[in-house]
Amino acid sequence: MKRFIMILSFVFAVVLTACICGTASVEKYEVNEIAKADYGTCEEHVYPNDGEYITIEPGPSCSRKGAKYRICAVCGYYDIVELPKDPDKHSLVSKDLTYEDKPTCTEGGVGYYICLGCNKAAERVELPPDPEAHVKDGDFVVLKKETCTNNGTMAHKCKYCSAYFNHQSIPSDPMMHVLTDSSKWVVTKLPTCAQAGSVDGYCDECYKVCVTRTVPATGNHTPEEEWLVVTEPTCSSDGVKAHKCSVCNQPVDETPIPSEPEKHTFADKYTIDVPATCTTEGSESRHCLYCDAKVDERVVSVDASAHSYGDEWIVTQEPSCSQSGYKHRVCKLCNEDSIATLIPRTEHTYPDEYEIIKESADGTSVQVKYICEVCSYKYITIITIGNNPGEGNIGDTVDPITKKYYIKPVEKTVIRVDYDKMIISNVVKEMTVEDFLDKFLNGNVFVIYNPKDRFISEEDNIGTGCRLNYETPDGNVTNYYVSVTGDLDSNGEITAADARKILRISAKIDNVSEPYLTAADVNYDGKITASDARKTLLVAANLEFFDETYEY
C-alpha cells in the first residue's frame, strides 16, 4: 500500500509539472515499466470507463511528446502510453509578426506568428492597409522653393498613393531672389538711338537690387536738315549722301548721288602704255583711277637695254669637270648678244677600276682612289666590303700587282671620322638618312636625331648637328655628330643663308659648336674666313663644287 501511494504521487507530480511548465516529456519517466514490475497481480486488468485512457495535460505538441494512462480497478496497475509529437499543435508562439507581404498605404499584407518550439509559422494573419506605410518614389521633391529670406520644403513622394511624407526644410539662400510680374523696376540709364540703356530689378522679399537688364537702343535717330556727303561720286560710280543724327552723329536717310562721267580722278604717276624697246620708242600717260580715261600722253625714248631675247641659247664655251662653260642669247630686235651666263661644271668621269689605298684593320672596309679620265682629279672614298673579306661592294676580279678592282663603287663621296671629337665630317649635301646609313655604316644599327634631339625618318636629309646614337654589342652607347660641308642650318642643303652664317662665324659674331665649325671650314685649311663663305655662295649657285678629296 505504501509503494502504491508513492507511485501514484510520482504520476501526479509528473502531471502537475507538465501542466505548469508545458514542456514535460514522457521520455523523462517509465511509470508503465514500474507498474508492470510491482503491481501486475491481476491476470487480466479491469479498467473503468471501458478501458478509456486519460491524457496527461497539456498533452503532446510540435516540440515535445505526451502521455496517457489508465488504472486497473482491481490491483491499481497504471498503464501509461507515450504519445508522439503533434506537428500541428504549437505550444509557444512569438509576440511579433513576421511579414510575408508587408502592408503599404494602399494594399494589405500577410504576416505570421512563429512557433518558438519548431521555428515554423504557427498562425497566418491577414493585415489591413497601413495609411502611414508610404514607399518613396525616387529622390526628394521640392514642394516649396527656398528664397533669399525664407526656407523651402522638400519631401518624398509615395510611389503608391502619391502622398508626400518625410518633409524636410531647405535652408534659405541669399542669392535666391524673387522676381515676378509685379516686381519693382527702376531705370538707371535711358537708351538713345545708338546706345543701350539699363534697368534694375528689386527682389519681392528682400527689396534689394537683384538683377540689371540691358534696354536695347531705340534706333530712332534725330536727323539734321543739312545733307552730308558720305561718298563722293566718280566718273563711273554713284556717291552717297545722308543726314547726320544730332544725337549720335551717325549718317541716316542715305541717298545716292548720281555719277559724273566727266569727273575723272587721274593718278599722279605715269603708266606705261607702250613699252620702249632697244629699237623703238614707247609711250606713257596718267590714267584715271576709276575708268580707262587718260591724259598727258608722252613719248618714251628708246631703251638700249630693253632687248627681246630669243629662247635659244648659244654655247660659247662647253663646260667640263675642271672649268665652267658659257652661253648667251641673241636679241630678236637688234641682234645684240646678251651677257654671258655661266654653265656649271660637269661631274668627273671616273673609270670602272680603282686603286686600294688602305684597308681597315677588320677587313670590312677599304679606302680607294679614282682618277678622272678628263682632268686627272683624284677622288678618294671609303667602300664597305661586308662582314667578311670579299663580300659586299668589291668584286673578286683583282690585279694582284696594281691591286685594281674592276667594279663601280656604291657612292662617290668621302667621309672623315674624328674619333677624338666624335665627328663624322665631309658628308655631301642633300643626302638622305637612308642613303647615309646604307652607304657608310656597314650595317651597324644607328638611331639618328636632329639637333633638337628629335628622331628623324629615313626620307629626311641628314644635316650638320645630327646625332648618331649607336649601341655596341656589349651594351655601351656611343654618340657621333654629323658635319655636312657648307651646311650651317642643319637642313642638309647649301644656300646663301649658309654662306651668310659662315661669314658671321668668321667675324666672330656667332659662336657655334664643333660640328658646325667643321662644316664651316669648306676648304679644309683649319680656319674659317671670308673665303669659306665665298666658296659656299658659289656652290649654292651651282657655279662650283666643294673639294671632296683628302689623303690619310
Judge if 448 and 545 occupy the same domain: yes
Alpha-carbon torsion (374, 376, 382, 383), positive or negative: positive
Q: Which three cell numbers stand for residue 180?
A: 515676378
Q: Where are the beta strands (DSSP E) in 222-293?
A: 223-231, 239-245, 251-257, 271-274, 282-287
pLDDT given for residue 408 in this prediction: 36
pLDDT tens per residue, range 273-294: 999 999 999 999 999 998 989 9
Judge if 473 and 440 occupy the same domain: yes
Whether residue 274 lies inside any domain: the answer is no
Compare 250 and 418 and report the one with higher pLDDT.
Answer: 250
Whether residue 489 lies inside any domain: the answer is yes
Judge if 79 and 210 occupy the same domain: no
pLDDT tens per residue, range 28-71: 334 444 444 445 578 889 888 888 999 888 888 888 888 989 99
Q: Which domain holds residue 24?
A: 2-83
Mean pLDDT, residues 427-444 taken together: 70
User: At 294, phi and psi to the nearest 5?
Assistant: -145, 155
Alpha-carbon torsion (267, 273, 276, 279), positive or negative: negative
Judge if 438 and 533 occupy the same domain: yes
pLDDT tens per residue, range 79-114: 899 989 888 888 777 888 888 888 889 888 898 888
Whether residue 147 lies inside any domain: the answer is no
Is the per-residue pLDDT at 184 higher than 60?
Answer: yes
What is the domain count for the chain? 6
* CB 324, CB 315: distance < 8 Å: no
CATH of the domain at 479: 1.10.1330.10
- 537 contacts: CB under 8 Å, gap ≥ 6: 496, 499
Judge if 227 and 251 occupy the same domain: yes
Q: Is the peptide bond before 58 cis (omega within 30 degrees of 0)?
A: yes
Judge if 231 and 331 occupy the same domain: no
Judge if 476 and 511 occupy the same domain: yes
Q: What percentage of residues in the chain have a pLDDT greater than 90? A: 28
Nearest Cα to 394, choosing from 431, 424, 352, 436?
352
Judge if 37 and 112 occupy the same domain: no
Is the per-residue pLDDT at 254 higher than 80?
Answer: yes
Whether residue 306 lies inside any domain: the answer is no
Judge if 196 and 252 occupy the same domain: no
Whether residue 350 lies inside any domain: the answer is no
